[in-house]
């Protein structure tokens, strides 16, 4: 298959170069954005995920996703995320996606927002994967257009006004099967990943570096089309004011279930 794609190795090198450049950029801008002594809230949350890639044809599929994010382990709401998209499979290892995401953010933790805030988020993505021996590498580049809605008004506080921001994300994920050369039905596996988020736009002043997610999971592929995963993620968030940060220790639970309508 790859004899028709001489650029694949170049794409892999570009992915690694972009990740390095983004990291260096963030290290350069983060200290300059600190306008007062930093305040870091250390918190513990849990995120519950469902992901599906549902194949319609050899080239087209539908992405479905639900994330229930709970604060104080499971005690209260942090966020509700609903995401969908249309995938175009350029090859078995390169996928292009465009879609829509809804996020509802609740007041939570030691640095809560004033009230519930909805967000409407169109997004575009390129996913590139490759194998080095038994190890699978995934490079995910995502661009988001974030329409952050009004804070809901209360009896004593008016609505806060809408906001628009852009955000780019890069994630590298590495997966290793515990047996065999690929993850197949009946296989245990592990993965590790890091994802960095960069804000840009006129309304972004103090948090060009938005957040970073570093995590690891153990999973079991119980069907050719389905697996479960459990793991840990540390999420570092810089708030819009530039001096408040979150360090969130997060328990992660995943169900991946893919339907194939080509049959």
Quote the CA–CA distance of 182 and 176 in Å, as a whole number. 8
Q: What are the φ and ψ backbone dihedral angles of 8, each rounded to 5 degrees?
A: -60, -45
pLDDT, position 31:
43
Residue by residue, pLDDT tens for the chain (263 residues) are 444 444 555 555 555 555 555 555 554 444 444 557 889 999 999 999 999 999 999 999 999 999 999 999 999 999 999 999 999 999 999 999 999 999 999 999 999 998 899 999 999 999 999 999 999 999 999 999 999 987 665 555 555 667 899 999 999 999 999 999 999 999 999 999 999 999 998 888 889 999 999 999 999 999 999 999 999 999 999 999 899 999 999 999 999 999 999 97
The b-or-e profile of 15-29 (16+ CB within 10 A means b, else e) is: beeebeebeeebeee
- H or E, element range at 139: strand 135-148
Whole-Å CA distances, 73 to 45, 76, 217: 4, 8, 18
In the chain, where the domains are located: 2-34+43-257
**CA 145 distance to own-chain centroid:** 14
Architecture of domain 2-34+43-257 in this structure: Beta Barrel (2.40)
pLDDT, position 1:
43
Whole-Å CA distances, 28 to 53, 82, 157, 212, 262: 37, 33, 37, 15, 49
Contact (CB, 8 A) for 62 and 56: yes
pLDDT, position 2:
42
């Amino acid at each position: 298959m790859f004899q028709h794609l001489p650029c694949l190795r170049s794409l892999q090198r570009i992915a690694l170069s972009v990740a390095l450049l983004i990291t260096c950029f963030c290290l350069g801008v983060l200290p300059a954005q600190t306008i007062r002594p930093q305040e870091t809230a250390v918190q513990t949350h849990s995120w519950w995920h469902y992901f599906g890639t549902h194949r319609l044809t050899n080239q087209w599929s539908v992405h479905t996703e639900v994330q229930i994010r709970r604060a104080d382990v499971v005690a209260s709401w942090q966020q509700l995320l609903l995401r969908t998209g249309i995938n175009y499979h350029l090859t078995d290892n390169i996928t292009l996606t465009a879609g829509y995401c809804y996020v509802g953010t609740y007041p939570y933790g030691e640095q809560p927002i004033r009230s519930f805030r909805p967000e409407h988020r169109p997004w575009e993505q390129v996913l590139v994967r490759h194998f080095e021996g038994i190890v699978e590498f995934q490079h995910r580049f995502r661009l988001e257009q974030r329409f952050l809605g009004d804070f809901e008004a209360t009896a004593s506080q008016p609505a806060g006004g809408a906001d628009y921001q852009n955000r780019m994300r890069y994630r590298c994920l590495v997966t290793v099967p515990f047996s065999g050369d690929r993850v197949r039905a009946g296989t245990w596996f592990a993965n590790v990943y890091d994802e960095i988020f960069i804000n840009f736009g006129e309304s972004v002043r103090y948090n060009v570096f938005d957040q970073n997610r570093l995590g690891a999971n153990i999973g079991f592929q119980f069907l050719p089309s389905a697996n479960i995963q459990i793991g840990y993620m540390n999420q570092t968030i810089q708030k819009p004011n530039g001096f408040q940060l979150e360090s969130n220790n997060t328990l992660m639970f995943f169900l991946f279930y893919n339907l194939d309508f080509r049959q």
